[in-house]
Structure 1
Amino acid sequence: MDRSFYRFALSFRGGAMDDLKSTFAEYMFKDSSFPKEEKSFDPLSRYIEEKADAKMPSVVFDELFLLYEERFL
């Protein structure tokens, strides 16, 4: 599996402003320190909980990661 979570989540950018996945992706894109090459849940989850913007809630991350796992892992 060559696709990182970051690259997967970027596919949600550009959606409606009330779409939480789209908002998450937009703020993730603007976060220069987001772990762009990471594919594993634990390091990504830790980053979201400890360092991410409030517009990137862990509930939305969990939903996105489940979709990521279904498609790429």
Structure 2
Amino acid sequence: MRRSFYQWLMTQRDPVTHDEVKQFANNAFYDQAFPKQSDDFDSLSRYLEENGNYLLSMDIFDAAWRLYLASEE
């Protein structure tokens, strides 16, 4: 069974590293409304565009999504 994007993203958390994907993961951890069960690019993208004020650029989400897909192969 495929894990959700959020479950994968939480494996990327690192409070010391300043990598953009890791920073995204750190911030998403505190986002109580993040769609934690979703593995759908469009719904996650829409959510982040409307609510992800902690995400400096959607390019960071795109990079994280590519890493997520690669990890699920």
Q: Same fold (TM over 0.5)?
A: yes
1:30 aligns with 2:26: no
DSSP-derived class of the 2:23 partner:
helix
Deviates more, 1:35-44 or 1:46-55: 46-55
Counterpart CA distance in 1 for 2:56 and 2:31 is 10
Question: Which is helix-richer, 1 or 2?
Answer: 1
1:2 positional shift: 2.8
Aligned alpha-carbon RMSD (Å): 1.6
Give the match for residue 60 of structure 1.
Answer: 60
8 A contact 2:15–2:26 mirrored in 1: no
Residue 3 of structure 1: aligned partner: 3
SS at 2:68's partner residue?
Answer: helix
What are structure 1's unaligned runs of at least 5 residues?
none
Distance 1:5 1:56, change over 3 A: farther
The one-letter code sitting in structure 2 at the alignment partner of 1:69 is: L
Long gaps (5+) in structure 2: none
Partner SS for 1:49: helix
Q: TM-score, normalised by structure 1?
A: 0.86
Aligned pair count reads 73
TM-score (norm. length: structure 2): 0.86
| Identical columns (%) | 36
